[in-house]
Structure 1
Amino acid sequence: MTTGVRRRMGVEERRQQLIGVALELFSHRSPDEVSIDEIAAAAGISRPLVYHYFPGKQSLYEAALRRAADELAARFDEPREGPLGARLLRVMERFFGFVDEHGPGFSALMRGGPAVGSSTTNAMIDEVRQAAYEQILDHLGVGNPPARLALVVRSWVSLAESTALLWLDGREIPRAELELQLVHDFAALMAVGAAYDPATERIVLRILADEPPDGPFGELVGRLVGMASALPAVPGPRGTAT
């Protein structure tokens, strides 16, 4: 039997509740469209009480983004077991799971939302990118990457971010296909980097030695070989086909 008496929350518990409510609302609509009144109603408290815990919508917005940024960065955390291609695919599945669940919130985090230009928001975005970068280097088993490899990894992190933002606009490509494509993009960028840099080449060869033929990287090789076989024969230097 319930008494109908509402339990009084402590200060930190109430703050965390409001952050969770705000993040949930931001996950379905742009933060610009969510008012303090809506957040208060969803939390079951009055508007003045929201301001008791947060001085304004901006501070609540940034606290919600802080939680989103921490969760997003954690999606890149993966046990260092098994082939790299399979690990990256699991990372992309979790990354796009977050993007899919928190579309407007993800866009607000990466594009700035109502806090565009805010040093706090920009710092959070940089933290997510840096965490992803460091996690990928850890997967590669590289502590001090050569300059070209560092450029490749940072480029891929940016590619994953921009691809997710574009995908949210219409979700025209099946999510699973895009997750696999980004893993293939990583392999392709690494291969190009290896073609220009011996240090990156050694890392790539070490990784490929552990990749199974039926893994994501092996599948990419199969696709490329199939494309190459469909090309017309190219005349050799003496007019013979090659």
Structure 2
Amino acid sequence: MSIDVGQRRRFSPDARREQILSVAVRLFGERGYAEVSTTDVAREAGVARGLINHYFGTKKDLYLEVIHVMLTVPPVALASLPDGDLPVRIDAIVGWFLDVVSRHSQSWLAAITAGGMAGDAEVDRAISSAIDAAADAVLTAVGFTAVTPPMHAMARSYVGLATSTAREWLERDVLTRAQVHRLLSLTLLTMVTSVFTDD
């Protein structure tokens, strides 16, 4: 949610936090970590800078939250998956992923590439944690409840494929959305039916 500079509106604490985070996602995506200050975020969100610290702590803490938001699948996305058969659910989760990365392409690309913060231990841990969470979400989406370490590793590999394929579409404009959707859907279906079930 974006509001005019200087405009103040009353929000609940959760809504205010979400509003600030939405502005931070956009600014870090547009400019990168080094070029964004908490003052910039506060100004764009129409709040006092101290409120940024209140909700998020430091600028780096705010950036780590941006990475988490951009790279993880929220519970609401999993809860809203259709009850249909496996291909229908896979089609829905892939569609959700492509909707998110296309709607927030700059911010997503900045998050997945660490936005100029690659090599920072906390940022690298945040990205790795987000990939773990995304792998868990993939396994949940396709109906696995008992997950072995090899299955989780394969799901992480799928997340890597999804990330690389989305970048081919968004950054390099080599693939179309339809091609990306088909590749990711068929690959996940094959993994579920022929790979995850193997000993």
Normalising to structure 1: TM-score of the pair?
Answer: 0.60
| AA partner of residue 153 (structure 1) | A
Deviation of residue 21 (structure 1)? Answer: 1.6
Structure 2 match to 1:161: 163
Q: What SS class does the counterpart of residue 19 from structure 1 fall into?
A: helix
Are 1:121 and 2:119 an aligned pair? no
User: Of 81, 91, 94, which residue of structure 1 is paired with 2:93?
Assistant: 91
Deviation of residue 153 (structure 1)? Answer: 2.9
The whole-number CA distance in structure 2 between the counterparts of 1:61 and 1:88 is 30
The whole-number CA distance in structure 1 between the counterparts of 2:123 and 2:53 is 22
Structure 2 match to 1:143: 146
Deviations 1:122-175 (A, max 9, x none): 34323332233233334244514484x555433222211221233221333221
The whole-number CA distance in structure 2 between the counterparts of 1:140 and 1:160 is 19
For structure 1, list consecutive stretches of 5 or more residues without a partner in the other structure. Answer: 202-242
Structure exhibiting the larger radius of gyration computed from Cα positions: 1
For structure 2, list consecutive stretches of 5 or more residues without a partner in the other structure. Answer: 1-6
Deviation of residue 90 (structure 1)? Answer: 0.9
The whole-number CA distance in structure 2 between the counterparts of 1:93 and 1:24 is 22
Structure 2 match to 1:60: 62
The whole-number CA distance in structure 1 between the counterparts of 2:99 and 2:161 is 17
Deviation of residue 67 (structure 1)? Answer: 3.3
Deviations 1:53-103 (A, max 9, x none): 465432322233333345x34476254722212211111111111111222
Deviation of residue 49 (structure 1)? Answer: 4.0
Structure of higher RCO (CA pairs closer than 8 Å, 6+ residues apart): 2
Q: 1:58 to 1:175 in 2, by over 3 A?
A: same
The whole-number CA distance in structure 2 between the counterparts of 1:65 and 1:183 is 25
The whole-number CA distance in structure 2 between the counterparts of 1:60 and 1:140 is 33
Deviations 1:20-61 (A, max 9, x none): 221232344434443444323212346x54675465432322
Q: 1:8 to 1:175 in 2, by over 3 A?
A: closer
Query: Does structure 2 conserve the Cα–Cα contact (< 8 Å) formed by 1:146 and 1:200?
Result: no
The whole-number CA distance in structure 2 between the counterparts of 1:51 and 1:132 is 27
Normalising to structure 2: TM-score of the pair?
Answer: 0.71
Q: Percent identity?
A: 25
The whole-number CA distance in structure 2 between the counterparts of 1:16 and 1:132 is 21
Q: 1:179 to 1:30 in 2, by over 3 A?
A: farther
Q: 1:33 to 1:183 in 2, by over 3 A?
A: same
Q: What SS class does the counterpart of residue 165 from structure 1 fall into?
A: helix
Deviation of residue 106 (structure 1)? Answer: 1.4
Query: Does structure 2 conserve the Cα–Cα contact (< 8 Å) formed by 1:93 and 1:176?
Result: no
Q: How many positions carry a matched residue from both structures?
A: 190
Structure 2 match to 1:34: 36
Structure 2 match to 1:171: 173
| AA partner of residue 182 (structure 2) | L
| AA partner of residue 129 (structure 2) | E
